[in-house]
Structure 1
Amino acid sequence: MKLLKGLFLLILFLSTIVHADSKNELLFYVGITMVKPVKELATNFEKANNCTIKILQGGSQDLYDSAKSSQVGDLYLPGSSSYRDKFIKDGLLLDGKFVGYNKLSLVVKKGNPKNVNASLEELTNEELNVVLGSEQSGSVGLASKNVLTKFGLYEKAVSNAIFLVPDSRNLINAIKNGNADLILNWHATTFWDNNKEFVEAIVLDDESSQKSKLVFNLLSSSKNKELSKRFMDYASSVEGREVFKKYGFLDDEDMKNFDKVVF
């Protein structure tokens, strides 16, 4: 595992050498679940600002480790603001902008053939093939551990899981590939065009959904801080909010209260 991470960091460094000297190029570290809205916003921003945006995607922890080690890049968007809280002391994360929410849902095969109920206790059902996210690599795994621990279900759910995966994409693939009957994943993944015909969300109550704020973070390593701040402003603008809503990160109530959010 350490060797693979080392190779990843080397590839990252080599791929971003040009970026470090370019005033018209931005590099974003984006958790997998949020890539689609960020890509859409990036395309619009590039046209309006005559710049190029590169997006590195992965688990939130792995992305932070890469940004910290390489000291290259402009913005970091993890799957939860808890990563900002945890790492702000390092000095790598500067200004932040709220853009939406991640929340957990139980996810099953389209049509819910196993008749799974809207309860976290279903993750301990030995008659179901359950797959969970690992807390070591991605935001979904960390959020899953937090909420399951809160309800005293974590150890039993992990013991019941047939395996753990690093991120939200691999969780969805476990359903699509027929390996899992049930996963606990970010709700927004069920909105993706390449997922929604294969999976469906079983919506949890607010207490069980581990609703997590999404915050763009300006990196101290950024060589283009003004342009990066301009993108953060765009992502949190009315137009940006509509894009995040389209991909399941905001609802009508969230839109009404958007400007009141504190992180």
Structure 2
Amino acid sequence: MRLPSAVSALAAAARHRVVCIGLLMMLALPGCDASDTRTASDDPTPLLIYCGVTMLHPIRAIAEVFEAETGVPVVISQGASADLYRSLETARLGDMYFPGSLSYRIDNLHAGLLGEGAHVGYNVAALLVRAGNPKRIPASLAALTDPALAVVVANPDSGSIGRETRRILRLAGLYDAVLRNTVLMATDSRNLNQALLDGSADVVLNWRATGRFPENQPHVEVLDIDPALAARKKLVINLLTFSQQPALARRFMKMATSPRGQAIFRDAGFIDARGRTG
């Protein structure tokens, strides 16, 4: 059976806007022609952005504006930042990479796959609990060591919040104690919040902005922690050096840094590139 060309498959995926990593890995197989630049209906070739799950809401909103103005669809591959990088490294398909931490850019620049970057805002970590804080959990990292609480943190090997969790807890001298008190480790920010929503966790350490997402806001409460520990983490969209549409990708990145794009980030609960909040 002949596999579809990469562009044809992405054009079909564009109808759903968000795709999984598995589809992209399929497109990297022999027989999937990533150089095909036309679809069966001669529709515009979609832009593909690898986006960490935490930033999905603002990127999807910007993608809708971009598509309305240019007629070019945007396909978003969502997942944990480390998994996304491994996917783009294998597939060599797509246009932009948007991880949840600048560290993924710094760590991988030497490989030559990440080109210029656009600074769009900041992430900051916080404790999240169920709405109303029924267990009266204090806004302190020490709460994560309380054996009376069901604690869930993220895996540092899969996503940006896992890396940030490890950094924060090591700085506080609590990493080993928290791991001993953890009931499970999540892969990313979405799974952390799901643990709160389904009752698996009493408290999680997660990106603050996720508490503002529409699906989470009625159900969770944000507890800000010491800013000396939870520093702002720079968010940068990276142009991929193998992009077949770099001019369009740069146009998307410019939209994300524009006043309109920055307002979308603030509305989604992020700190914008000038340090402003919504």
Query: Following TM superposition, by how much is the alpha carbon of 1:253 offset from its aligned partner in structure 2, in angstroms?
Result: 6.6
Distance 1:19 1:37 in 2: 29
Q: Cα deviation per residue 1:5-33 (whole Å; 9 max; x = unaligned)?
A: 9966533537x857852563100000001
- Aligned residue for 2:276, secondary structure, equals helix
Q: Does 1:77 find its partner at 2:104?
A: no
Name the residue aligned to 1:58: 79
Give the aligned partner of residue 171 of structure 2: 150
When residues 151 and 111 of structure 1 are mapped into structure 2, their CA distance, relative to the original with a 3 A threshold, is: same
Distance 1:202 1:111 in 2: 11
Match in the other structure for 2:145 = 124
| 1:36-185 pair list within 5 angstroms | 36-185=57-206
Q: CA separation of 1:6/1:178 partners in 2, compared to 1, >3 Å: closer, same or farther?
A: closer
Whole-Å Cα distance in 1 between the matches of residues 52 and 35 of structure 2? 20
Which digits, 9 at most, give the CA deviation of each residue in 1:40-60, with x for residues without a partner? 000000111110100000000
**CA RMSD across the alignment:** 2.1
Cα shift readout 1:228-251 (whole Å, capped 9, x = no counterpart)? 001101100111100000011116
Other-structure match for 1:21: 37
Question: Residues 53, 251 of structure 1: CA spacing in aligned structure 2 closer, same or farther, 3 A cutoff?
Answer: closer
Distance 1:92 1:252, change over 3 A: closer
The match for 2:240 is 219
Q: CA deviation at 1:208?
A: 2.3
Structure showing greater radius of gyration is 2
Flag the structure with higher helix content: 1
SS of 1:21's equivalent in the other structure is coil
Aligned CA distance change for structure 1 residues 248 and 47 (closer, same or farther; 3 Å): same
Q: Partner amino acid for 1:212?
A: K
- Any conservation in 2 of the 1:107–1:202 contact (CA below 8 Å)? yes
| Residue 99 of structure 1: how far off its partner (Å) | 0.5
**Aligned equivalents of 1:243, 1:19: Cα separation in 2:** 33
- TM-score (norm. length: structure 1): 0.90
Cα shift at 1:206: 1.3
Measure the CA separation in 2 of the matches of 1:240 and 1:113: 36
Q: How does 1:189-200 map to 2 (within 5 A)?
A: 189-200=210-221
Partner of 1:11: 26
| SS class of match (1:28) | strand
Which residue of the partner structure matches residue 261 of structure 1? none
Is contact 1:19–1:25 with CA below 8 Å preserved after alignment?
A: no
Q: Distance in 2 between matches of 1:123 and 1:65?
A: 31
Contact 1:120–1:208 under 8 Å retained in 2: no
Indicate how the Cα distance of structure 1 residues 170 and 12 shifts in structure 2: closer, same or farther if over 3 A, else same.
farther
How far has the Cα of 1:85 moved from its partner?
0.6
Q: 1:20 to 1:36 in 2, by over 3 A?
A: farther
Deviation at 1:69, TM superposition (A): 0.7
Give the Cα–Cα distance (whole angstroms) in 1 for the partners of residues 66 and 35 of structure 2: 17
SS in 2 for 1:155: helix
SS of structure 1 residue aligned to 2:59: helix
Change (3 A) 1:19 1:54: farther
1:63 & 1:112 partners in 2: Cα distance?
34
